[in-house]
């Protein structure tokens, strides 16, 4: 295990445990779980967990946003789930959701595993073009040829990689998908190779689908298509193959399954794929490319502004994955993309907003977050800035969207294009160099990025104002601050505050309204009570379990801030002698905030006639200036229940 072992354990525990996980992938900043039951995940606990930025639910995925170090966390999570790289458990299926969510889930699952290497190869290709444009060498020298091979290799044989990832997504043997991709790239069946022969006849003559036929398959015409560097055909062919493989697995005897199933799958899939699915999918790809170009041609500036304005919103919900195939298909079909590329402005707009906040804020913690998030954004990774800073502050996020829209409109007006996959953030600029080496498009890219940054920076400096917390508002302390605290402030003392999270989900009750006089009087300590709605108790802070009663109805703990806590589950429940309770920890154990401590059977306790009011007390209240409950009728595990001033 690596350095994120503890974080990995907490994440797995709070997504419902190993048994609740169907599959796990990751992108640049997020762990993307597919869960059997999302209601078993503890959203608030995960959100409050150190090392987790936030939690999102989109496209049938449960997304835990980590940040730039997500590959390291992913590597530590996989062994806990008993999964290998690519992490899926094919034997079980979770809820499928609606068609749109399933589409997003499929697209992200197919493209995520190769996006990093695609960016790397594209970056090399872009640098190669830049070096030629700078006159460092020519496009005929050996250095150019080798770098071009590095940059072009993946894109030329893209169907092999997509075949592999699509097979994993469709629960088929990945190597079979790889072979299908290789067959579709086989030189002699490419349309460009067939064109050297004699035309037998022409199909769909006089239409946009006009196709000369050079050969046939037992009398069935084989339409010549070039499948190298394509995206859509291999995905559909592999999907069809997955259905065939599943069918053959049902009736082929186990003794010969090992080789008969893949053989029969290929014998059925490849002819159908090359004769029907491939040509239809290729026609579809061309139609999509023409359609999106037509939309853009209607008003390039408006189209660019819409993309730039909405892109970050799509990213928040993970919906941007639905447009990735369009973007890649445009580059592979037309040699460039100018429809989706206005989103390039959003990266720099977001970075500039964060930089402005860094200069303007007086909040030390916010300032510490802003600078690394600015650097991360410049290199193309904006999720930490969005979730950690912009969304909580609201107005800066709106500014970044508007600035991105203005930059996108600028890009649309000047026909900004990207000619190859490659890089992120500033490393994406080489991909803007035109194939002939001219730099006009690159200058447009730089100008649009600067325009977005300047607008975003100035607007944030003018419009962003730090809000002072209001007293007695939602989520604030609902008890009057005693006079001695006011006097301490006047004396110039600095007050430290620590927060105690709720260990339960339920309704918050003031301590003095409890049915038990001993707790209600406060003689045992200040705090609050929770009327639970779920039979689980979680650690309200990091610390040590100092006391675990043999009856499991109550426990004591000492937090790392020196707060002694008593959590007493129900009233008079000691009489049950542990019946209906299950402990997940032992006395003396170190626990992390959000860790499951005890489970109890609510129905059983209620049938036995016990009151479930659960006090959460600070038993060393006299050591602190004040212990105050937080306003609000409902609370979930991880949300602040008590604030302790010292």
Number of structural domains the chain divides into: 4
Between CA 97 and CA 100 the distance in angstroms is: 8
Comparing CA positions, the residue from 333, 342, 340 lying closest to residue 290 is 333
State both tokens at 625: 């200036």
**End-of-domain residue from the set 430, 463, 496:** 463
Q: Give the per-residue pLDDT at 292.
A: 61
Does residue 400 form part of some domain?
yes
Q: What is the pLDDT of residues 10-19, one digit of tens each?
A: 999 999 988 8
Q: What is the pLDDT of residues 560-602, one digit of tens each?
A: 888 999 999 998 787 787 889 999 998 888 999 999 999 999 9
- Judge if 515 and 434 occupy the same domain: no
- Judge if 244 and 377 occupy the same domain: no
Instruction: Give residue 308's domain range.
Output: 300-320+332-463
pTM for the model stands at 0.53
Between CA 312 and CA 316 the distance in angstroms is: 6
Does residue 511 form part of some domain?
yes
Between CA 212 and CA 215 the distance in angstroms is: 9
- Judge if 237 and 309 occupy the same domain: no
- Most confidently predicted of 92-96, 108-112, 293-297, 591-595: 591-595
- Judge if 268 and 184 occupy the same domain: yes
Neighbouring residues of 111: CB distance < 8 A, sequence distance ≥ 6: 165, 321, 324, 325, 328
Neighbouring residues of 5: CB distance < 8 A, sequence distance ≥ 6: 76
Scanning 440-551, the segments in alpha helix (DSSP H) are 440-463, 483-490, 517-520
- Judge if 313 and 381 occupy the same domain: yes
Between CA 485 and CA 624 the distance in angstroms is: 10
Q: Give the per-residue pLDDT at 322.
A: 61
Q: Which residue has the tokens 């069946």?
A: 189
Between CA 78 and CA 92 the distance in angstroms is: 17
**End-of-domain residue from the set 55, 70, 93:** 93
Active site residue 27: yes
Does residue 113 form part of some domain?
no
Classify the phi-psi angles of 481: left when phi > 0, otherwise alpha if psi is within -120 to 50, otherwise beta.
beta
Q: Give the per-residue pLDDT at 494.
A: 39
- Most confidently predicted of 311-315, 355-359, 507-511: 355-359
Neighbouring residues of 253: CB distance < 8 A, sequence distance ≥ 6: none
Does residue 636 form part of some domain?
yes
Q: What is the pLDDT of residues 248-304, one digit of tens each?
A: 998 898 888 889 999 999 999 999 999 999 888 878 767 766 776 676 778 889 888
Mean pLDDT confidence for 463-475: 55
CATH of the domain at 58: 3.30.1360.60
Does residue 147 form part of some domain?
no
- Judge if 451 and 349 occupy the same domain: yes
CB atoms within 10 A of CB 518: 12
Does residue 490 form part of some domain?
yes
Does residue 468 form part of some domain?
no
Q: Which contacts qualify for 354-357: CB closer than 8 Å, 24 or more apart?
A: 354/385, 354/389, 354/390, 354/396, 355/457, 356/396, 356/456, 356/457, 356/458, 356/460, 356/461, 356/464, 357/389, 357/393, 357/396, 357/460, 357/464
CATH of the domain at 557: 2.70.70.10
- Judge if 419 and 521 occupy the same domain: no
Q: What is the pLDDT of residues 436-447, one digit of tens each?
A: 888 899 999 999
Q: How confident is the model at residue 423 (pLDDT cuts 50, 70, 90)?
A: low
Residue 37 to residues 7, 12, 261, 318: CA-CA distances in angstroms?
21, 14, 33, 19
- What percent of the chain stands above pLDDT 70? 87
- Judge if 495 and 526 occupy the same domain: yes
- Judge if 289 and 229 occupy the same domain: yes
Does residue 383 form part of some domain?
yes
Scanning 157-231, the segments in alpha helix (DSSP H) are 158-169, 174-184, 191-194
Q: How confident is the model at residue 318 (pLDDT cuts 50, 70, 90)?
A: low
- Judge if 441 and 488 occupy the same domain: no
- Judge if 236 and 178 occupy the same domain: yes
Comparing CA positions, the residue from 586, 509, 436, 519 lying closest to residue 132 is 436
Question: Which has more pLDDT, 231 or 496?
Answer: 231
β-sheet bridge partners, residue 581: 600
Q: What is the pLDDT of residues 29-71, one digit of tens each?
A: 678 898 988 889 998 889 888 888 788 887 678 989 887 678 8
- Most confidently predicted of 336-345, 451-460, 526-535: 451-460
**pLDDT score of 645 more than 90:** no
Between CA 541 and CA 543 the distance in angstroms is: 6
Comparing CA positions, the residue from 340, 342, 347, 429 lying closest to residue 383 is 347
- Judge if 541 and 587 occupy the same domain: yes
């Amino acid at each position: 295990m690596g350095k994120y072992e503890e974080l990995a354990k907490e994440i797995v525990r709070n997504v419902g445990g190993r048994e609740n996980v169907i599959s796990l992938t990751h992108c640049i900043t997020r762990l993307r779980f597919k869960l059997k039951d999302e209601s078993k995940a503890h959203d608030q606990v995960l959100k409050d967990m150190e090392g987790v930025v936030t939690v999102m639910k989109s496209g049938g995925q449960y997304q835990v946003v980590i940040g730039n170090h997500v590959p390291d966390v992913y590597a530590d999570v996989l062994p806990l789930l008993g999964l290998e790289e690519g992490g899926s458990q094919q034997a079980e299926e979770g809820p499928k959701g609606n068609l749109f969510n399933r589409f997003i889930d499929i697209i992200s699952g197919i493209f995520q595993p190769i996006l990093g290497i695609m960016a790397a190869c594209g970056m090399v290709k872009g640098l190669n073009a830049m070096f030629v444009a700078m006159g460092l060498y020519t496009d005929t020298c050996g250095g150019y040829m080798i770098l071009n091979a590095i940059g072009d290799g993946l894109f030329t044989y893209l169907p092999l990689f997509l075949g592999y990832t699509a097979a994993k997504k469709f629960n088929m043997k990945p190597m079979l998908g790889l072979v299908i991709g290789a067959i579709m790239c086989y030189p002699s069946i490419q349309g460009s190779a067939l064109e050297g022969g004699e035309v037998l006849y022409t199909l769909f003559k006089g239409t946009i689908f006009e196709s000369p036929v050079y050969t046939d398959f037992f009398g069935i015409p084989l339409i010549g298509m070039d499948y190298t560097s394509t995206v859509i055909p291999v995905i559909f062919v592999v999907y069809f193959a997955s259905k065939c493989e599943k069918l053959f697995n049902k009736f082929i005897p186990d003794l010969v399954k090992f080789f008969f199933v893949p053989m029969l799958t290929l014998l059925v899939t490849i002819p159908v794929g090359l004769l029907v699915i491939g040509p239809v999918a290729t026609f579809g790809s061309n139609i999509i490319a023409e359609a999106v170009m037509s939309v853009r041609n209607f008003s390039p500036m408006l189209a660019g502004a819409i993309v730039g304005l909405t892109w970050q919103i799509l990213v928040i919900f993970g919906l941007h994955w639905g447009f990735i195939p369009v973007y890649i298909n445009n580059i592979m079909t037309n040699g460039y993309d100018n429809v989706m590329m206005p989103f390039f402005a959003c990266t720099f707009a977001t970075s500039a907003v964060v930089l402005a906040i860094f200069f303007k804020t007086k909040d030390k913690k916010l300032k510490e977050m802003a600078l690394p998030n600015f650097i991360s954004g410049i290199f193309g990774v904006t999720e930490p800035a969005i979730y950690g800073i912009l969304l909580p502050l609201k107005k800066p996020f709106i500014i970044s969207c508007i600035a991105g829209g203005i930059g996108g409109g600028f890009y649309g007006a000047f026909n900004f294009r990207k000619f190859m996959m490659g890089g992120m953030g500033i490393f994406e600029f080489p991909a803007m160099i035109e194939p002939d080496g001219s730099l006009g498009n690159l200058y447009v890219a730089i100008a649009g990025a600067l325009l977005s940054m300047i607008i975003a920076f100035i607007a944030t400096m003018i419009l962003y104002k730090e809000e002072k917390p209001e007293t007695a508002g939602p989520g604030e302390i609902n008890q009057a601050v005693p006079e001695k605290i006011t006097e301490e402030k006047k004396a110039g003392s600095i007050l430290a505050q620590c927060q105690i999270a709720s260990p339960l989900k339920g309704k918050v009750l003031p301590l003095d309204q409890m049915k038990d006089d001993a707790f209600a009087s406060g003689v045992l300590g200040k705090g609050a009570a929770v009327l639970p709605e779920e039979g689980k108790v979680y650690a309200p802070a990091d610390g040590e379990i100092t006391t675990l009663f043999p009856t499991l109805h109550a426990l004591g703990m000492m937090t790392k801030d020196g707060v002694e806590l008593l959590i007493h589950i129900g009233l008079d429940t000691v009489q049950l002698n542990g019946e209906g309770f299950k402990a997940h920890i032992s006395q003396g154990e170190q626990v992390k905030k959000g860790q499951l401590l005890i489970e109890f059977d609510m129905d059983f306790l209620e049938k036995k006639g016990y009151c479930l009011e659960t006090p959460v007390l600070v038993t060393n209240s006299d050591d602190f200036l004040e212990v105050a409950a937080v306003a609000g009728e409902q609370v979930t595990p991880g949300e602040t229940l008590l604030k302790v001033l010292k």
